Amino acid sequence: MKKILNFFENSINYIENKNITILSIFFSVYLASILRSFLEGYTNSLNNKQISGLIDTFFHYPLWFLGVFLGIIIVLFVLTKEKIEKITKLFVYVPFVVVIPIFFDLFLKKENVSYSFITSKFDNAFLTLGGDFISNGIKLEIIIASIFIFIYVYLKTKKIWKAILGSFFSYVVIFTFLTLPVFLQNSFEFVKNEKENFPTGYFYRSDHIKSNFSEKNLIFSGNSTSLNNDFFLENQTSIIFSTTLLFVDICLICLIFFFYNRKKFFSVIKNFRYLRIVYYFIFVSFGIFLSGGIPISLFDYILIFSTFSSLFFAWLFCVWENDEVDLDIDRISNKKRPLPQGDISVEEWKIIKYFFLVFSLGFAFLSGFYVFLLVLIYISLYHIYSVPPLRLKKVIILSSLVVAINALIAVWLGYFVSSNTEYITEFPPKIILFVIMVVFFVENIKNIKDIEGDKKNNIKTLANILGERNSKLIFGLIASLFIFLAPFVFYFSLKTIIVSTFFSVVMYLSINKKIFNENHIFLIYFVFIAFFVLAVLL
Protein backbone atom coordinates (compact mmCIF):
# COMPACT_ATOMS: atom_id res chain seq x y z
CA MET A 1 0.00 0.00 0.00
CA LYS A 2 2.84 2.33 0.87
CA LYS A 3 4.46 1.68 -2.53
CA ILE A 4 1.19 2.54 -4.27
CA LEU A 5 0.86 5.80 -2.35
CA ASN A 6 4.50 6.65 -3.10
CA PHE A 7 3.88 5.99 -6.78
CA PHE A 8 0.89 8.33 -6.81
CA GLU A 9 2.75 10.98 -4.81
CA ASN A 10 5.75 10.91 -7.15
CA SER A 11 3.49 11.05 -10.21
CA ILE A 12 1.54 13.99 -8.79
CA ASN A 13 4.72 15.89 -7.91
CA TYR A 14 6.10 15.22 -11.39
CA ILE A 15 3.00 16.61 -13.11
CA GLU A 16 2.66 19.59 -10.75
CA ASN A 17 6.24 20.67 -11.42
CA LYS A 18 6.06 20.30 -15.19
CA ASN A 19 5.84 23.35 -17.42
CA ILE A 20 2.24 22.92 -18.58
CA THR A 21 0.44 25.84 -20.19
CA ILE A 22 -3.17 26.75 -19.51
CA LEU A 23 -3.83 26.25 -23.24
CA SER A 24 -2.66 22.62 -23.00
CA ILE A 25 -5.04 21.95 -20.12
CA PHE A 26 -8.10 23.36 -21.87
CA PHE A 27 -7.17 21.64 -25.12
CA SER A 28 -6.91 18.32 -23.27
CA VAL A 29 -10.38 18.76 -21.76
CA TYR A 30 -11.83 19.79 -25.12
CA LEU A 31 -10.25 16.91 -27.03
CA ALA A 32 -11.34 14.33 -24.46
CA SER A 33 -14.93 15.59 -24.47
CA ILE A 34 -15.15 15.51 -28.28
CA LEU A 35 -13.73 11.97 -28.30
CA ARG A 36 -16.29 10.97 -25.69
CA SER A 37 -19.08 12.59 -27.72
CA PHE A 38 -18.07 10.75 -30.89
CA LEU A 39 -17.80 7.35 -29.18
CA GLU A 40 -21.03 7.94 -27.30
CA GLY A 41 -22.82 8.58 -30.57
CA TYR A 42 -21.67 5.14 -31.70
CA THR A 43 -22.98 3.35 -28.61
CA ASN A 44 -26.05 5.41 -27.67
CA SER A 45 -29.21 3.51 -28.59
CA LEU A 46 -31.36 6.63 -28.09
CA ASN A 47 -30.00 8.38 -31.18
CA ASN A 48 -29.87 5.49 -33.67
CA LYS A 49 -26.07 5.55 -33.80
CA GLN A 50 -25.87 9.10 -35.16
CA ILE A 51 -23.07 11.53 -34.45
CA SER A 52 -24.31 14.34 -32.23
CA GLY A 53 -25.05 17.77 -33.68
CA LEU A 54 -22.69 20.69 -34.17
CA ILE A 55 -23.69 22.64 -31.06
CA ASP A 56 -23.78 19.55 -28.83
CA THR A 57 -20.38 18.31 -30.03
CA PHE A 58 -18.45 21.58 -29.88
CA PHE A 59 -20.29 23.45 -27.11
CA HIS A 60 -22.75 21.48 -24.98
CA TYR A 61 -20.64 18.42 -24.10
CA PRO A 62 -17.21 20.11 -23.81
CA LEU A 63 -18.72 22.85 -21.61
CA TRP A 64 -20.40 20.21 -19.44
CA PHE A 65 -17.17 18.28 -18.84
CA LEU A 66 -15.20 21.50 -18.35
CA GLY A 67 -17.67 22.62 -15.68
CA VAL A 68 -17.30 19.32 -13.83
CA PHE A 69 -13.49 19.55 -13.89
CA LEU A 70 -13.50 23.20 -12.78
CA GLY A 71 -15.84 22.36 -9.90
CA ILE A 72 -13.59 19.50 -8.76
CA ILE A 73 -10.51 21.77 -8.95
CA ILE A 74 -12.22 24.21 -6.58
CA VAL A 75 -13.15 21.37 -4.18
CA LEU A 76 -9.53 20.14 -4.14
CA PHE A 77 -8.19 23.65 -3.55
CA VAL A 78 -10.53 24.34 -0.63
CA LEU A 79 -9.64 21.06 1.09
CA THR A 80 -5.89 20.86 0.42
CA LYS A 81 -4.89 24.56 0.25
CA GLU A 82 -2.46 23.54 -2.48
CA LYS A 83 -1.64 26.18 -5.10
CA ILE A 84 -4.53 26.11 -7.51
CA GLU A 85 -2.23 26.31 -10.54
CA LYS A 86 -0.62 23.03 -9.42
CA ILE A 87 -3.99 21.33 -9.03
CA THR A 88 -5.05 22.58 -12.45
CA LYS A 89 -1.99 21.00 -14.11
CA LEU A 90 -3.25 17.53 -13.17
CA PHE A 91 -6.18 18.01 -15.51
CA VAL A 92 -4.00 17.85 -18.60
CA TYR A 93 -4.12 14.05 -18.13
CA VAL A 94 -7.26 13.47 -16.05
CA PRO A 95 -9.88 14.38 -18.74
CA PHE A 96 -9.30 11.18 -20.67
CA VAL A 97 -10.98 9.25 -17.86
CA VAL A 98 -14.24 10.32 -19.55
CA VAL A 99 -13.82 7.66 -22.26
CA ILE A 100 -13.88 4.84 -19.69
CA PRO A 101 -17.68 4.34 -19.80
CA ILE A 102 -17.64 3.82 -23.56
CA PHE A 103 -15.01 1.07 -23.53
CA PHE A 104 -16.51 -0.59 -20.46
CA ASP A 105 -20.08 -0.58 -21.74
CA LEU A 106 -19.42 -1.40 -25.38
CA PHE A 107 -16.30 -3.51 -25.57
CA LEU A 108 -16.30 -5.27 -22.19
CA LYS A 109 -19.98 -5.59 -21.31
CA LYS A 110 -21.24 -5.67 -24.93
CA GLU A 111 -24.06 -3.33 -23.89
CA ASN A 112 -26.10 -1.15 -26.23
CA VAL A 113 -26.28 1.77 -23.85
CA SER A 114 -28.80 4.60 -23.56
CA TYR A 115 -26.72 7.49 -22.25
CA SER A 116 -29.20 9.71 -20.47
CA PHE A 117 -29.70 12.27 -17.76
CA ILE A 118 -31.26 11.65 -14.37
CA THR A 119 -34.93 12.58 -14.60
CA SER A 120 -36.62 11.76 -11.29
CA LYS A 121 -36.19 10.48 -7.71
CA PHE A 122 -33.06 12.54 -7.15
CA ASP A 123 -32.52 11.32 -3.58
CA ASN A 124 -32.46 7.70 -4.71
CA ALA A 125 -30.35 8.56 -7.76
CA PHE A 126 -27.80 10.37 -5.59
CA LEU A 127 -27.33 7.33 -3.34
CA THR A 128 -27.08 4.88 -6.25
CA LEU A 129 -24.62 6.81 -8.47
CA GLY A 130 -27.35 8.03 -10.78
CA GLY A 131 -29.92 5.28 -10.49
CA ASP A 132 -31.22 3.11 -13.30
CA PHE A 133 -30.73 5.74 -15.99
CA ILE A 134 -26.93 5.91 -15.64
CA SER A 135 -24.88 3.18 -17.34
CA ASN A 136 -22.50 0.89 -15.48
CA GLY A 137 -19.62 2.49 -17.34
CA ILE A 138 -20.47 5.95 -16.03
CA LYS A 139 -20.83 4.56 -12.50
CA LEU A 140 -17.38 2.98 -12.85
CA GLU A 141 -16.05 6.33 -14.08
CA ILE A 142 -17.44 8.08 -10.99
CA ILE A 143 -15.96 5.43 -8.67
CA ILE A 144 -12.50 5.67 -10.27
CA ALA A 145 -12.60 9.48 -10.09
CA SER A 146 -13.63 9.35 -6.42
CA ILE A 147 -10.75 6.97 -5.59
CA PHE A 148 -8.18 9.21 -7.28
CA ILE A 149 -9.59 12.27 -5.51
CA PHE A 150 -9.48 10.45 -2.17
CA ILE A 151 -5.82 9.53 -2.72
CA TYR A 152 -4.88 13.06 -3.85
CA VAL A 153 -6.49 14.79 -0.87
CA TYR A 154 -5.02 12.27 1.56
CA LEU A 155 -1.50 12.69 0.16
CA LYS A 156 -1.79 16.47 0.43
CA THR A 157 -3.37 16.65 3.90
CA LYS A 158 -2.60 13.27 5.56
CA LYS A 159 -6.16 13.39 6.92
CA ILE A 160 -8.64 10.65 6.03
CA TRP A 161 -11.69 12.77 6.87
CA LYS A 162 -10.62 15.43 4.39
CA ALA A 163 -10.04 12.76 1.76
CA ILE A 164 -13.57 11.45 2.34
CA LEU A 165 -14.97 14.98 2.05
CA GLY A 166 -13.00 15.46 -1.17
CA SER A 167 -14.57 12.39 -2.76
CA PHE A 168 -18.03 13.31 -1.46
CA PHE A 169 -18.08 16.93 -2.63
CA SER A 170 -16.54 16.00 -5.98
CA TYR A 171 -19.39 13.53 -6.43
CA VAL A 172 -21.82 16.33 -5.51
CA VAL A 173 -20.29 18.42 -8.31
CA ILE A 174 -20.68 15.57 -10.81
CA PHE A 175 -24.25 14.84 -9.71
CA THR A 176 -25.19 18.53 -9.87
CA PHE A 177 -24.00 18.79 -13.46
CA LEU A 178 -25.76 15.53 -14.34
CA THR A 179 -29.06 16.92 -13.11
CA LEU A 180 -28.59 20.47 -14.44
CA PRO A 181 -30.00 19.75 -17.91
CA VAL A 182 -33.07 18.15 -16.37
CA PHE A 183 -33.79 21.21 -14.24
CA LEU A 184 -33.43 23.31 -17.37
CA GLN A 185 -35.72 21.03 -19.31
CA ASN A 186 -38.36 21.22 -16.61
CA SER A 187 -38.11 24.99 -16.45
CA PHE A 188 -38.69 25.21 -20.20
CA GLU A 189 -41.52 22.67 -20.02
CA PHE A 190 -39.60 20.08 -22.00
CA VAL A 191 -40.83 17.25 -19.82
CA LYS A 192 -44.63 17.33 -19.97
CA ASN A 193 -45.53 14.25 -17.91
CA GLU A 194 -43.59 14.12 -14.66
CA LYS A 195 -45.34 10.92 -13.55
CA GLU A 196 -43.77 8.88 -16.31
CA ASN A 197 -40.37 7.54 -15.37
CA PHE A 198 -38.70 7.67 -18.77
CA PRO A 199 -35.08 8.61 -19.55
CA THR A 200 -34.45 12.06 -20.95
CA GLY A 201 -31.42 11.46 -23.11
CA TYR A 202 -28.85 13.68 -24.71
CA PHE A 203 -30.90 13.48 -27.91
CA TYR A 204 -34.40 13.70 -26.43
CA ARG A 205 -36.41 16.62 -27.80
CA SER A 206 -39.88 17.76 -26.82
CA ASP A 207 -42.27 20.34 -28.22
CA HIS A 208 -41.17 23.45 -30.08
CA ILE A 209 -40.45 26.36 -27.74
CA LYS A 210 -42.53 29.36 -28.73
CA SER A 211 -40.15 32.12 -29.70
CA ASN A 212 -40.09 35.36 -31.65
CA PHE A 213 -36.35 35.16 -32.17
CA SER A 214 -35.68 31.53 -33.19
CA GLU A 215 -36.25 31.47 -36.91
CA LYS A 216 -33.01 33.12 -38.00
CA ASN A 217 -30.95 33.16 -34.82
CA LEU A 218 -30.23 29.45 -34.79
CA ILE A 219 -26.99 28.55 -36.53
CA PHE A 220 -29.11 26.40 -38.83
CA SER A 221 -32.39 28.04 -39.75
CA GLY A 222 -35.56 26.34 -38.65
CA ASN A 223 -37.21 27.50 -41.87
CA SER A 224 -35.01 25.37 -44.07
CA THR A 225 -36.92 22.64 -45.83
CA SER A 226 -33.87 20.39 -45.60
CA LEU A 227 -34.03 20.38 -41.82
CA ASN A 228 -36.74 18.46 -40.05
CA ASN A 229 -38.48 19.60 -36.89
CA ASP A 230 -36.35 17.33 -34.69
CA PHE A 231 -33.18 19.04 -35.87
CA PHE A 232 -34.73 22.44 -35.23
CA LEU A 233 -35.63 21.38 -31.69
CA GLU A 234 -32.13 20.02 -31.17
CA ASN A 235 -30.75 23.48 -31.92
CA GLN A 236 -33.13 25.09 -29.44
CA THR A 237 -32.36 22.74 -26.56
CA SER A 238 -28.64 22.65 -27.36
CA ILE A 239 -28.46 26.45 -27.32
CA ILE A 240 -30.25 26.53 -23.97
CA PHE A 241 -27.87 23.99 -22.43
CA SER A 242 -24.73 25.43 -24.02
CA THR A 243 -25.42 29.05 -23.09
CA THR A 244 -26.20 28.10 -19.49
CA LEU A 245 -23.10 25.91 -19.19
CA LEU A 246 -20.88 28.57 -20.77
CA PHE A 247 -22.08 31.09 -18.19
CA VAL A 248 -21.54 28.62 -15.32
CA ASP A 249 -18.06 27.72 -16.58
CA ILE A 250 -17.05 31.38 -16.83
CA CYS A 251 -18.16 31.92 -13.24
CA LEU A 252 -16.06 28.93 -12.12
CA ILE A 253 -13.04 30.17 -14.09
CA CYS A 254 -13.38 33.58 -12.41
CA LEU A 255 -13.50 31.88 -9.00
CA ILE A 256 -10.35 29.88 -9.81
CA PHE A 257 -8.59 33.06 -10.95
CA PHE A 258 -9.63 34.70 -7.67
CA PHE A 259 -8.08 31.80 -5.73
CA TYR A 260 -4.97 32.01 -7.92
CA ASN A 261 -4.25 35.65 -7.07
CA ARG A 262 -6.76 38.04 -5.53
CA LYS A 263 -4.73 41.14 -6.38
CA LYS A 264 -4.54 40.22 -10.06
CA PHE A 265 -8.24 39.31 -10.06
CA PHE A 266 -9.32 42.72 -8.75
CA SER A 267 -6.88 44.48 -11.11
CA VAL A 268 -8.67 42.81 -14.01
CA ILE A 269 -12.09 43.74 -12.64
CA LYS A 270 -11.06 47.38 -12.20
CA ASN A 271 -9.90 47.58 -15.83
CA PHE A 272 -13.29 46.73 -17.34
CA ARG A 273 -14.21 50.37 -18.26
CA TYR A 274 -17.72 49.96 -16.86
CA LEU A 275 -19.12 53.17 -18.28
CA ARG A 276 -18.12 52.08 -21.78
CA ILE A 277 -19.82 48.73 -21.20
CA VAL A 278 -23.02 50.51 -20.17
CA TYR A 279 -22.55 52.78 -23.17
CA TYR A 280 -22.53 49.83 -25.60
CA PHE A 281 -25.32 48.03 -23.76
CA ILE A 282 -27.50 51.11 -24.24
CA PHE A 283 -26.86 50.90 -27.99
CA VAL A 284 -27.85 47.21 -28.03
CA SER A 285 -30.98 47.99 -26.00
CA PHE A 286 -31.76 50.82 -28.41
CA GLY A 287 -31.54 48.35 -31.29
CA ILE A 288 -33.95 45.95 -29.57
CA PHE A 289 -36.32 48.87 -28.97
CA LEU A 290 -36.18 49.91 -32.64
CA SER A 291 -36.91 46.37 -33.84
CA GLY A 292 -40.19 46.18 -31.97
CA GLY A 293 -39.45 42.53 -31.18
CA ILE A 294 -40.93 41.30 -27.92
CA PRO A 295 -39.45 38.26 -26.14
CA ILE A 296 -42.21 35.75 -25.38
CA SER A 297 -40.23 32.89 -23.83
CA LEU A 298 -37.18 32.19 -21.73
CA PHE A 299 -35.49 31.02 -24.92
CA ASP A 300 -35.79 34.54 -26.32
CA TYR A 301 -34.32 35.98 -23.13
CA ILE A 302 -31.42 33.52 -23.34
CA LEU A 303 -30.67 34.75 -26.86
CA ILE A 304 -30.73 38.36 -25.63
CA PHE A 305 -28.47 37.46 -22.69
CA SER A 306 -26.07 35.66 -25.02
CA THR A 307 -25.97 38.67 -27.37
CA PHE A 308 -25.16 41.08 -24.55
CA SER A 309 -22.52 38.66 -23.21
CA SER A 310 -20.84 38.32 -26.61
CA LEU A 311 -20.51 42.10 -26.90
CA PHE A 312 -19.35 42.39 -23.28
CA PHE A 313 -16.44 39.99 -23.80
CA ALA A 314 -15.69 41.37 -27.28
CA TRP A 315 -15.27 44.80 -25.69
CA LEU A 316 -12.98 43.39 -22.98
CA PHE A 317 -10.83 41.65 -25.61
CA CYS A 318 -10.51 44.93 -27.53
CA VAL A 319 -9.63 46.83 -24.33
CA TRP A 320 -6.95 44.30 -23.42
CA GLU A 321 -5.48 44.38 -26.92
CA ASN A 322 -5.46 48.19 -26.99
CA ASP A 323 -3.85 48.46 -23.54
CA GLU A 324 -1.17 45.98 -24.56
CA VAL A 325 -0.21 48.08 -27.58
CA ASP A 326 -0.62 51.42 -25.75
CA LEU A 327 1.59 50.51 -22.80
CA ASP A 328 4.02 53.40 -23.42
CA ILE A 329 1.17 55.92 -23.75
CA ASP A 330 -0.53 54.64 -20.60
CA ARG A 331 2.69 55.09 -18.61
CA ILE A 332 2.09 58.83 -19.19
CA SER A 333 -1.68 59.35 -19.23
CA ASN A 334 -3.09 56.21 -17.53
CA LYS A 335 -0.51 55.22 -14.96
CA LYS A 336 -3.02 53.43 -12.70
CA ARG A 337 -3.92 50.75 -15.24
CA PRO A 338 -2.73 47.18 -14.47
CA LEU A 339 0.01 46.91 -17.12
CA PRO A 340 1.79 50.24 -16.38
CA GLN A 341 1.61 49.46 -12.65
CA GLY A 342 3.01 45.95 -13.18
CA ASP A 343 0.08 44.27 -11.43
CA ILE A 344 -0.18 41.70 -14.22
CA SER A 345 2.60 40.36 -16.44
CA VAL A 346 2.38 40.72 -20.22
CA GLU A 347 2.12 36.93 -20.57
CA GLU A 348 -0.80 36.75 -18.13
CA TRP A 349 -2.37 39.73 -19.88
CA LYS A 350 -2.35 37.86 -23.20
CA ILE A 351 -3.86 34.72 -21.65
CA ILE A 352 -6.71 36.75 -20.16
CA LYS A 353 -7.18 38.55 -23.48
CA TYR A 354 -7.66 35.32 -25.40
CA PHE A 355 -10.03 33.98 -22.76
CA PHE A 356 -12.19 37.05 -23.44
CA LEU A 357 -12.02 36.35 -27.18
CA VAL A 358 -13.13 32.72 -26.78
CA PHE A 359 -15.97 33.73 -24.44
CA SER A 360 -17.14 36.40 -26.88
CA LEU A 361 -17.13 34.20 -29.97
CA GLY A 362 -18.73 31.36 -28.00
CA PHE A 363 -21.70 33.47 -26.93
CA ALA A 364 -21.89 35.05 -30.40
CA PHE A 365 -22.02 31.67 -32.14
CA LEU A 366 -24.77 30.49 -29.80
CA SER A 367 -26.72 33.69 -30.56
CA GLY A 368 -26.83 32.90 -34.26
CA PHE A 369 -25.15 33.79 -37.53
CA TYR A 370 -26.13 37.47 -37.48
CA VAL A 371 -24.65 38.11 -34.06
CA PHE A 372 -21.55 36.01 -34.79
CA LEU A 373 -20.81 37.93 -37.99
CA LEU A 374 -21.41 41.35 -36.41
CA VAL A 375 -19.22 40.54 -33.40
CA LEU A 376 -16.42 39.38 -35.71
CA ILE A 377 -16.65 42.69 -37.59
CA TYR A 378 -16.71 44.60 -34.28
CA ILE A 379 -13.54 42.85 -33.05
CA SER A 380 -11.81 43.19 -36.43
CA LEU A 381 -12.47 46.94 -36.61
CA TYR A 382 -11.08 47.51 -33.13
CA HIS A 383 -8.07 45.34 -34.03
CA ILE A 384 -7.10 47.50 -37.01
CA TYR A 385 -7.88 50.54 -34.85
CA SER A 386 -5.38 49.55 -32.13
CA VAL A 387 -2.73 47.26 -33.62
CA PRO A 388 0.03 47.94 -36.18
CA PRO A 389 0.54 48.03 -39.09
CA LEU A 390 -2.72 49.89 -39.78
CA ARG A 391 -3.27 51.26 -36.26
CA LEU A 392 -6.04 53.58 -37.42
CA LYS A 393 -6.17 55.35 -34.07
CA LYS A 394 -3.17 57.32 -35.38
CA VAL A 395 -5.13 58.45 -38.44
CA ILE A 396 -7.19 61.55 -37.84
CA ILE A 397 -10.90 61.22 -38.73
CA LEU A 398 -10.63 57.46 -39.41
CA SER A 399 -9.88 56.69 -35.75
CA SER A 400 -13.12 58.20 -34.52
CA LEU A 401 -15.05 56.82 -37.49
CA VAL A 402 -14.09 53.23 -36.59
CA VAL A 403 -15.42 53.70 -33.06
CA ALA A 404 -18.62 55.25 -34.44
CA ILE A 405 -19.17 52.29 -36.78
CA ASN A 406 -18.73 49.88 -33.88
CA ALA A 407 -21.39 51.77 -31.94
CA LEU A 408 -23.69 51.28 -34.93
CA ILE A 409 -22.82 47.56 -34.92
CA ALA A 410 -23.92 47.41 -31.28
CA VAL A 411 -27.29 48.88 -32.33
CA TRP A 412 -27.51 46.32 -35.14
CA LEU A 413 -26.78 43.49 -32.69
CA GLY A 414 -29.88 44.39 -30.72
CA TYR A 415 -31.93 45.08 -33.83
CA PHE A 416 -31.20 41.91 -35.78
CA VAL A 417 -31.31 39.51 -32.83
CA SER A 418 -34.88 40.57 -32.08
CA SER A 419 -36.40 41.76 -35.38
CA ASN A 420 -38.26 39.84 -38.05
CA THR A 421 -36.21 41.29 -40.88
CA GLU A 422 -33.05 39.92 -42.44
CA TYR A 423 -32.17 43.04 -44.44
CA ILE A 424 -29.93 45.90 -43.32
CA THR A 425 -31.73 48.13 -45.84
CA GLU A 426 -34.82 48.03 -43.60
CA PHE A 427 -32.89 49.67 -40.77
CA PRO A 428 -33.82 53.41 -40.58
CA PRO A 429 -31.13 55.41 -42.48
CA LYS A 430 -31.53 58.51 -40.28
CA ILE A 431 -30.64 56.39 -37.23
CA ILE A 432 -27.47 55.18 -38.96
CA LEU A 433 -26.40 58.76 -39.70
CA PHE A 434 -27.31 60.09 -36.25
CA VAL A 435 -25.51 57.30 -34.33
CA ILE A 436 -22.33 57.62 -36.40
CA MET A 437 -22.22 61.42 -36.12
CA VAL A 438 -22.88 61.50 -32.37
CA VAL A 439 -20.34 58.80 -31.50
CA PHE A 440 -17.78 60.29 -33.90
CA PHE A 441 -17.72 63.56 -31.95
CA VAL A 442 -18.03 61.91 -28.53
CA GLU A 443 -14.94 59.87 -29.34
CA ASN A 444 -13.04 63.06 -30.15
CA ILE A 445 -14.16 64.50 -26.81
CA LYS A 446 -12.65 61.47 -25.06
CA ASN A 447 -9.27 62.20 -26.67
CA ILE A 448 -8.96 65.48 -24.76
CA LYS A 449 -7.57 63.64 -21.73
CA ASP A 450 -4.90 61.90 -23.90
CA ILE A 451 -3.49 65.02 -25.57
CA GLU A 452 -0.06 64.87 -23.86
CA GLY A 453 0.40 61.12 -24.34
CA ASP A 454 -0.78 61.23 -27.96
CA LYS A 455 1.63 64.06 -28.81
CA LYS A 456 4.63 62.17 -27.40
CA ASN A 457 3.66 59.04 -29.38
CA ASN A 458 2.88 60.94 -32.60
CA ILE A 459 -0.81 60.02 -32.62
CA LYS A 460 -2.82 62.58 -34.54
CA THR A 461 -6.26 63.39 -33.15
CA LEU A 462 -8.49 66.42 -33.58
CA ALA A 463 -7.98 67.13 -29.89
CA ASN A 464 -4.19 67.51 -29.99
CA ILE A 465 -4.32 69.41 -33.32
CA LEU A 466 -6.83 71.95 -32.03
CA GLY A 467 -5.36 72.13 -28.54
CA GLU A 468 -7.16 71.62 -25.25
CA ARG A 469 -8.92 74.99 -25.09
CA ASN A 470 -10.25 74.98 -28.67
CA SER A 471 -11.17 71.29 -28.45
CA LYS A 472 -13.32 71.86 -25.39
CA LEU A 473 -15.06 74.83 -27.00
CA ILE A 474 -15.78 73.18 -30.37
CA PHE A 475 -16.61 69.69 -29.10
CA GLY A 476 -18.73 71.15 -26.33
CA LEU A 477 -20.85 73.05 -28.85
CA ILE A 478 -21.21 70.02 -31.15
CA ALA A 479 -22.11 67.62 -28.33
CA SER A 480 -24.68 70.08 -27.01
CA LEU A 481 -26.15 70.47 -30.49
CA PHE A 482 -26.62 66.71 -30.90
CA ILE A 483 -28.41 66.46 -27.57
CA PHE A 484 -30.63 69.39 -28.51
CA LEU A 485 -31.50 67.78 -31.87
CA ALA A 486 -32.52 64.42 -30.34
CA PRO A 487 -36.27 65.27 -30.21
CA PHE A 488 -36.27 66.12 -33.92
CA VAL A 489 -34.76 62.72 -34.78
CA PHE A 490 -36.57 60.39 -32.37
CA TYR A 491 -39.67 61.88 -30.70
CA PHE A 492 -40.81 65.48 -30.76
CA SER A 493 -42.79 66.88 -27.82
CA LEU A 494 -42.58 69.74 -25.34
CA LYS A 495 -41.23 67.39 -22.67
CA THR A 496 -38.41 66.04 -24.85
CA ILE A 497 -37.50 69.59 -25.95
CA ILE A 498 -37.19 70.71 -22.30
CA VAL A 499 -35.09 67.66 -21.38
CA SER A 500 -32.79 68.07 -24.39
CA THR A 501 -32.31 71.81 -23.85
CA PHE A 502 -31.39 71.33 -20.20
CA PHE A 503 -28.89 68.53 -20.83
CA SER A 504 -27.32 70.29 -23.81
CA VAL A 505 -26.35 73.14 -21.46
CA VAL A 506 -25.09 70.70 -18.80
CA MET A 507 -22.99 68.89 -21.40
CA TYR A 508 -21.35 72.08 -22.67
CA LEU A 509 -20.45 73.22 -19.15
CA SER A 510 -19.08 69.79 -18.21
CA ILE A 511 -16.81 69.55 -21.25
CA ASN A 512 -15.45 73.06 -20.65
CA LYS A 513 -14.60 72.52 -16.99
CA LYS A 514 -10.99 73.29 -16.10
CA ILE A 515 -10.31 69.68 -15.12
CA PHE A 516 -11.74 67.43 -17.84
CA ASN A 517 -13.25 64.10 -16.75
CA GLU A 518 -14.30 61.61 -19.44
CA ASN A 519 -16.52 59.68 -17.01
CA HIS A 520 -18.65 62.76 -16.35
CA ILE A 521 -19.42 63.02 -20.09
CA PHE A 522 -20.67 59.44 -20.25
CA LEU A 523 -22.72 59.88 -17.08
CA ILE A 524 -24.43 62.94 -18.53
CA TYR A 525 -25.28 60.99 -21.69
CA PHE A 526 -26.70 58.09 -19.65
CA VAL A 527 -28.80 60.36 -17.45
CA PHE A 528 -30.00 62.28 -20.51
CA ILE A 529 -31.08 59.06 -22.23
CA ALA A 530 -32.95 57.94 -19.10
CA PHE A 531 -34.83 61.25 -18.79
CA PHE A 532 -35.49 61.37 -22.54
CA VAL A 533 -37.08 57.89 -22.43
CA LEU A 534 -39.18 58.93 -19.43
CA ALA A 535 -40.30 62.04 -21.30
CA VAL A 536 -41.41 59.85 -24.21
CA LEU A 537 -43.26 57.35 -22.03
CA LEU A 538 -44.97 59.75 -19.62
433-455, pLDDT tens digit by residue?
Answer: 888 988 888 777 777 776 776 67
DSSP assignment of 401-454, as one string? HHHHHHHHHHHHHHHHHH-S---GGGS-HHHHHHHHHHHHHHHHHHGGGGHHHH
Domain containing 498 equals 428-538
Calpha distance 141→143 (Å, rounded): 5
pLDDT in tens, 130-185: 666 677 778 888 888 899 999 999 999 999 999 999 999 999 999 888 887 666 66
What is 340-398 written as a DSSP string? Answer: HHTSS-HHHHHHHHHHHHHHHHHHHHHH-HHHHHHHHHHHHHHHHHHSTTT-GGGSTTH
129: left (phi over 0), alpha (psi -120 to 50) or beta: left
Instruction: State in Å, rounded, how far the first CA of the chain is from the last one.
Output: 77
Q: Are residues 445 and 389 in the same domain?
A: no
pLDDT above 80 for 324: yes
Look up residue 97 and give its amino acid.
V
Q: Find, among 373, 253, 397, the residue nearest to 314 by Cα.
A: 373
Kindly report, residue by residue over 96-143, the tens digit of the pLDDT: 788 887 777 776 655 555 555 555 566 667 776 766 667 777 888 888
Domain check: are 438 and 463 in the same one?
yes
Same domain, 396 and 469: no
Give the domain-ending residue among 388, 408, 424. 424
Q: What percent of the chain is helix, strand and coil (3-state, nearest 5)?
A: 75, 0, 25
pLDDT at 322 over 50: yes
* Statement to judge: residues 242 and 381 lie in one domain: yes
Are residues 356 and 478 located together in one domain of the fold?
no
Between 231-235, 240-244, 289-293, 322-326, the lowest mean confidence (pLDDT) is in 231-235
Based on the domain organization, do 410 and 447 belong to the same domain? no
Which residues make Cβ contacts (< 8 Å) with residue 339, sequence separation at least 6? 323, 324, 327, 330, 346, 349
pLDDT at 46 (0 to 100)? 55
- CATH code for the domain of 236: 1.10.357.140
Range 377-394 average pLDDT: 91
Q: Report the domain count for the chain.
A: 3
Q: Are the C-beta atoms of 68 and 98 separated by less than 8 Å?
A: no
Instruction: Give the pLDDT confidence score for residue 63 in this predicted structure.
Output: 94
Across the range 261-271, mean pLDDT stands at 94
Confirm if 43 and 106 have CB atoms less than 8 A apart.
yes
Contact between 119 and 180 (Cβ < 8 Å)? no
φ/ψ region of 391 (left if φ > 0, alpha if ψ in -120 to 50, else beta) reads: left
Domain boundary among 409, 424, 439: 424
| Strands 200-201 vs 116-117: parallel, antiparallel or unpaired | antiparallel
What pLDDT does residue 298 have? 77
Share of the chain above pLDDT 90, in %: 33
Identify the domain boundary among 367, 390, 424.
424
335 and 284, same structural domain? yes
Least confident of 47-51, 249-253, 464-468, 525-529: 47-51
List, for residues 48-96, the tens digit of each pLDDT value.
545 567 888 889 889 999 999 999 999 999 999 999 999 999 888 877 7
Residue 470's pLDDT is 84
Same domain, residue pair 391 and 282 = yes
pLDDT surpassing 90 at residue 247: yes
Residues 303 and 368 in one domain: yes
Segment of 40-49, 212-221, 406-415, 524-533 carrying the highest mean pLDDT: 406-415
472 with 392, same domain: the answer is: no
Mean of pLDDT over the chain = 82
**Which domain CATH number covers 453?**
1.20.120
| Pair 200, 220 in one domain | no
Q: What is the pLDDT of residue 188?
A: 56
What pLDDT, on the 0 to 100 scale, is given for residue 326?
Answer: 85
Q: Given this model, what pLDDT does residue 185 score?
A: 63
Is residue 246 very low, low, confident or very high in pLDDT (cuts 50, 70, 90)? very high
- Tell me: do 180 and 110 sit in the same domain: yes
What's the mean pLDDT in 263-283?
Answer: 91
